[in-house]
Structure 1
Amino acid sequence: MIRFDNVTKTYMRGQHPAVENLDIEFSRGEFVFLVGASGSGKSTMMRMVLKEVAPTRGTVYVAGRDLSRIPSWRVPALRRDIGMVFQDFRLLPSKTAYQNIEFALAVIGTPRKVVRRLVPEMLEMVGLEDKGKRLPHELSGGEQQRVAIARAYVNRPTILLADEPTGNLDPSTAEGILELLSEINERGTTVVMATHDQSAVDRMRRRVVEMVGGKVVRDEQDGRYETEGALSVISGNLPDDSAHREEHPLDDVESRDGSGAGQDVSAREDEPASDVLEEELIDEREARLAQEEDAFSEDEDEEGLR
C-alpha cells in the first residue's frame, strides 16, 4: 500500500537529511504507529506520501504507483484517496461542521444528492449528528477533531494519515478519537499515525515504527511505546535532543558497540506543512476541469480529422 524504497530527503543542499536510506512498507489494512522524538522524520514521511515534497533520492510508492511518475495535475486525484488528520484540526473557521465536510465533496464535483446523503452519515459516524450547524469555535477540541476525521474520511480513502491527532486532547477525549480511527481501520482503511501518546500505543498494541534522526531503529508488531533497544530515544537510551545534534544521532551508540559506521544526518522536518487545505481542494477542482478541457480538445481534434 505504501512503500519507501531507499528514500532520502534533504530539504536544503549541504544540510543533513530529514530521512535517510529509508526502506519500509506499510501493507493494506494495517494500523501503524510512528513514534520518535520531534524532528525524527515522521512528518516528512507523511508529506512524501501526500506528494507535498519529493524525495531527494529513492522512490515512494502509494497503492502500487511510483509517485515520481505522477504529473502535478494528477496529484489532487492521488490525494483524494488519502485522508489527512492534523493535530490542530485545520477546519475552515467560517464554515459549520456540516459545511467543512461538504466542502471536501463539493470541490471534486460530487452531486448534491450524494453530498446530502454522505455528510449526515459522516456526522453520525463520528457522533456529531446533532452538531452539524455549529462553527468550529462552538465545538470542543475533541469535537473539532471528529469533524476533521469525518472530512478526511468522507471520500472513503484507502489510506488515512494522522499527524498527532490526539496531541491537543485530554486522555478521555483522546481515547474516543483512537476508537474512531480503529473503527475506520476495521472498515479496511490503512491508518498511519504519528504520535507521542504512550497510553494509546500501549493500549492498542499495533505495529510500532520508531524513528531516530531520519532512520528506522525499531519496527515491531504488537509493540509498545517504549523499548529496551539501545537506539531508542523515547525510552531514554538516547538524549531527547539527539535528532538535532550536529553529529549523527546514532554515532555514540555505534562507537560504543564498535561498529563506528555512523554518518551525518539530522531532521529538518520541524518546518510544519503549510495550512493549505482550502487551496489544495480548489487546486483539485481546477485540475479536474483542466483534465476535462484536455479531453474535450482531443475529441475536437479527432472530429476535425474525420
Structure 2
Amino acid sequence: MIRFDDVTKTYMRGQHPAVENLDIEFTRGEFVFLVGASGSGKSTLMRMVLKEVAPTRGTVYVAGKDLSRIPSWKVPALRRDIGMVFQDFRLLPSKTAYQNIEFALAVIGTPRKVVRRLVPEMLEMVGLEDKGKRLPHELSGGEQQRVAIARAYVNRPSILLADEPTGNLDPATAEGILDLLAEINERGTTVVMATHDRAAVDRMRRRVVEMVGGKVVRDEERGGYETPAPVSVISGNLPDDSTHREEHPLDDEELVADWDGAPESPAAERESSEEHAGPAGADRSVEVDGPDAAEAGTGPSAEDRPVAQDVLEEDLIDEREARRVRESEDFTGDFDQDQEELR
C-alpha cells in the first residue's frame, strides 16, 4: 500500500536529512503507530505520502504507483484516496459540522443526492448526528476532532494519515478517538498515526515504528511505546540531543548489537552493495525545478518564500537549523571580506 525505497529527504543543502535511507512498507489494512521525538521525521514521511514534498533521493510508492511519475495535475486525484487528520483539526470556522464534511465532497463534484446521504451517515458514525448544525467553536475539542475524522473519511479513502490526532485531547476523549480510528481500520482502511501518546500505543498494541534522526530504529509488531533498544530517544535510552546523535551515529554496529531485538540498520544492510557501487562520496543529489527546487536548496532561500500554513513541526525545526547555519556562513564571509580590504 505504501512503500519507501531508499528514500532520503533534505530540505536544504548542507543540513541533516529530515528522512535518511528510509526502507519501509505499510501493507493494506494495517494500523501503524509512528513514534519518535519531535524532529525525527514522522511528519516528513507523511508529507511525502501526500506528495506535498518530493524525496531528494529514492522512490515513494502509494497504492502501487511511483509518486515521482505522477504529474502535478493528477495529484488531487491521488489525494482523494488519502485522508488526513491533524492535531489542530483545521476545520473551516465559518461552516457547521455538516458543512465541513459536505465541503470535502463538494470539491470533487459529488452529486448533491449522494452528499445528502453520506454526510448524515458520517455524522452518525462519529457520534455527532445531533450536532451537525453547530459551528466548530460550539463543539468541544474531541467533537471537533471527530468532525475532522469524518471529513477525512467521507470519501472512503484506502489510506488515513493521522498526525497527533489525540495531542490536544484529555485521556478519556483521546480513547474515544482511538476507538473511532480502529473502527475505520476494521473497515479496511490503512491507518498510519504519528503520535507521542504513550497510553494510546500501549493500549492498542499494534505495529510500532520508531524514528530517530530521520531513520527507523525500531519496527515492532504489537509493540509498546517504550523499548529497551539503546537507540530509542522516547524511552530515554538516547538523549534527545542532535549533537549527541552526531557523536553516536545510529548505524553504529556495536550500539545496535547491544540489543538482541534491534533491527539491522539500513546502512549496514547496504554496506556490501555500496562497496561495488563506486566511491562513498559520489554525488547522488537530484536537480529539482519548480516549487520543489526551494525544498532541495536550489531555489529561493527560506526568507524569500512564504511559509505554508500546513508546515509541520519537523519542517519548522529543519528551517530554524538551516537558518542558523546560513547566518553563520554569512557572518564568516563578511569577516573574510573585511580582512581582505584591510590588507
CA contact (8 A) 1:213 1:248 kept: no
Q: Give a deviation string over 1:92-113, Cα, whole Å, max 9, x none.
A: 0010000000000001100000
Q: SS state of the match for residue 208, structure 1? A: strand
Match of 1:287 in 2: none
Tell me the CA shift for residue 274 of structure 1.
Answer: 2.7
CA contact (8 A) 1:230 1:253 kept: no
Q: Give a deviation string over 1:48-86, Cα, whole Å, max 9, x none.
A: 000000000000000000000000000000000000000
Match of 2:252 in 1: 254
CA contact (8 A) 1:206 1:222 kept: yes
Structure 1: gaps spanning 5 or more residues = 277-306
CA–CA distance in 2 between the matches of 1:229 and 1:191? 25
Describe how 1:140-179 pairs up with structure 2 within 5 A. Answer: 140-179=140-179
Describe how 1:12-91 pairs up with structure 2 within 5 A. Answer: 12-91=12-91
Match of 1:275 in 2: 310
Q: Give a deviation string over 1:168-223, Cα, whole Å, max 9, x none.
A: 00000000000000000000000000000011100110000000000000001000
- Counterpart AA for 2:252: E
CA–CA distance in 2 between the matches of 1:145 and 1:252? 36
- Higher-Rg structure is 2
Q: SS state of the match for residue 252, structure 2? A: helix
Tell me the CA shift for residue 15 of structure 1.
Answer: 1.0
CA contact (8 A) 2:93 2:135 kept: yes
Match of 1:284 in 2: none
CA–CA distance in 1 between the matches of 2:167 and 2:51? 24
- Counterpart AA for 1:92: L
CA–CA distance in 2 between the matches of 1:159 and 1:220? 20
Alignment of 1:195 onto 2:195: yes
Q: SS state of the match for residue 177, structure 1? A: helix
CA–CA distance in 1 between the matches of 2:172 and 2:157? 27
Residues 257, 47 of structure 1: CA spacing in aligned structure 2 closer, same or farther, 3 A cutoff? closer
Q: CA RMSD in A?
A: 2.2
- Number of aligned pairs? 266
Match of 1:181 in 2: 181
CA contact (8 A) 1:213 1:249 kept: no
Residues 255, 114 of structure 1: CA spacing in aligned structure 2 closer, same or farther, 3 A cutoff? closer
Tell me the CA shift for residue 273 of structure 1.
Answer: 6.3
Tell me the CA shift for residue 254 of structure 1.
Answer: 3.0
Tell me the CA shift for residue 250 of structure 1.
Answer: 4.2
CA contact (8 A) 2:231 2:256 kept: no
CA–CA distance in 2 between the matches of 1:258 and 1:214? 16
Residues 250, 213 of structure 1: CA spacing in aligned structure 2 closer, same or farther, 3 A cutoff? farther
CA–CA distance in 2 between the matches of 1:177 and 1:258? 35
CA contact (8 A) 1:160 1:190 kept: yes
CA contact (8 A) 1:231 1:253 kept: no
Residues 223, 81 of structure 1: CA spacing in aligned structure 2 closer, same or farther, 3 A cutoff? same
Residues 101, 209 of structure 1: CA spacing in aligned structure 2 closer, same or farther, 3 A cutoff? same
CA contact (8 A) 1:212 1:249 kept: no
TM-score where L is the length of structure 1: 0.83
Q: SS state of the match for residue 149, structure 1? A: helix
Match of 2:116 in 1: 116
- Counterpart AA for 1:189: T
CA–CA distance in 2 between the matches of 1:257 and 1:51? 34
Structure 2: gaps spanning 5 or more residues = 258-266, 269-279, 281-294, 296-306, 312-343
Residues 255, 82 of structure 1: CA spacing in aligned structure 2 closer, same or farther, 3 A cutoff? closer
Residues 129, 249 of structure 1: CA spacing in aligned structure 2 closer, same or farther, 3 A cutoff? farther
CA contact (8 A) 2:231 2:250 kept: no
CA–CA distance in 2 between the matches of 1:252 and 1:129? 49
Q: Give a deviation string over 1:120-168, Cα, whole Å, max 9, x none.
A: 0000000000000000000000000000000000000000000000000
Q: SS state of the match for residue 248, structure 1? A: helix
- Counterpart AA for 1:203: R
Match of 2:204 in 1: 204
Residues 257, 275 of structure 1: CA spacing in aligned structure 2 closer, same or farther, 3 A cutoff? closer
TM-score where L is the length of structure 2: 0.74
- Counterpart AA for 1:15: Q
Residues 180, 162 of structure 1: CA spacing in aligned structure 2 closer, same or farther, 3 A cutoff? same
Tell me the CA shift for residue 248 of structure 1.
Answer: 2.6
Q: SS state of the match for residue 165, structure 2? A: coil
CA contact (8 A) 2:35 2:211 kept: yes
Q: SS state of the match for residue 58, structure 1? A: strand
Describe how 1:201-240 pairs up with structure 2 within 5 A. Answer: 201-240=201-240
